[in-house]
Amino acid sequence: MPGFAADEHEAKFAFDERISSRVLGTLRARCQPDGKYAVGQVRSIYYDTHRWQAVHEKLNSDFLKTKVRLRHYGALPGGEPVGNAFLEAKFKLGSCRRKLRVETDWTAKSVRELDLGGPELMRVPELFLQEVCDYHGEPPGPLLPVFEVTYHRFRFVEPRSGARLSIDTQIRVSRVNHSRLPTPRKLPIGRAVLEVKGEHQALPQSLADLNQLGCKREAFSKFGVCYNWLRYASH
C-alpha cells in the first residue's frame, strides 16, 4: 500500500527559458549534483475530473490543492525510457506539501505507448483513490488523464545549507487526451522553474544573485501553467 511521504516545504522561482543556460551554469558552479539521478527527462500524465477540479484549485489559489499524476522518466540527451512509472497524489496545504507515491508495474516505455483516452490509463487512479478521498474528500466524478507534460530536470545540493534544488527546463505539453483538449503545438511554453526543497523557503545565500538574474519567486505550477497555455494555443 502507498504511504505518505514526510511533510516538506517547497519554494519555486520561475524565469524566462532564454536565461536557463545561465541559471544552470550558476548551479553547476556553486552546487553539487544530487545523487544517481542528477540529470534526466521527466514525463507526467496529469489527471483531473470532467469539471477540472484540480486545475481550478490551483488557478484559484485554494489553500488545499490536490494533483494526481502518473510520472515516468527518461535519460538525457535523447529521453530513452528508464525504469517503471510512478503514480503520485500530491497535496498542498498552504506552503506545506504531502505526497503519496507508489511504483506501478508499467514500464516508462509502455506508458508512452498508451493512449491518454484509452481504458488502461482511466483505471490508474484506482490504485490509491481511497487514500486520496480520505485526505481530500470524494471528487465530484471520476479522475481521467487530461494531458502529459515533458521537461528536462537537473538536480543539485547546495553544500552550505544542504538545500536540495532542481531546475526544470524545456517544459512542454507533449500529449493530450483528445476528448478533453485540442492537439498542442510542439513547442516549449517559454518558462522554466527552479525549485528549492528543505526547511527554508528562500534561495540559499550562495545563490541569492539569481534573483537579479531574473528568478522570481511565485506559485508556479506546471499543471496550471500548461493548462492555461493549452487554452491560449487553441484560439
- Of 1-15, 43-57, 66-80, 90-104, the poorest mean pLDDT is in 1-15
Q: At residue 155, does pLDDT exceed 70? A: yes
pLDDT band at 232 (very low <50, low <70, confident <90, very high): confident
- Copy the grid coordinates of residue 141: 466524478
Model confidence at 33: pLDDT above 80: yes
Mean pLDDT score of the chain: 84
Q: In this predicted structure, what is the pLDDT of residue 131? A: 59
At 153, the amino acid letter reads: R
Q: How confident is the model at residue 175 (pLDDT cuts 50, 70, 90)?
A: very high
Q: 25 or 79: whose pLDDT is higher?
A: 25
- pLDDT at 62 exceeding the cut of 70: no
Strand, coil or helix: 77: coil
Per the structure, the count of domains in the chain is 1
Q: Greater confidence, 29 or 179? A: 29
Q: Where are the alpha helices (DSSP H) in the chain?
A: 20-30, 53-59, 108-112, 119-122, 129-136, 210-213, 222-233
Domain hosting 82: range is 3-233
The mean pLDDT value for 50-68 works out to 75
What is the CATH classification number for the domain harbouring 8?
Answer: 2.40.320.10
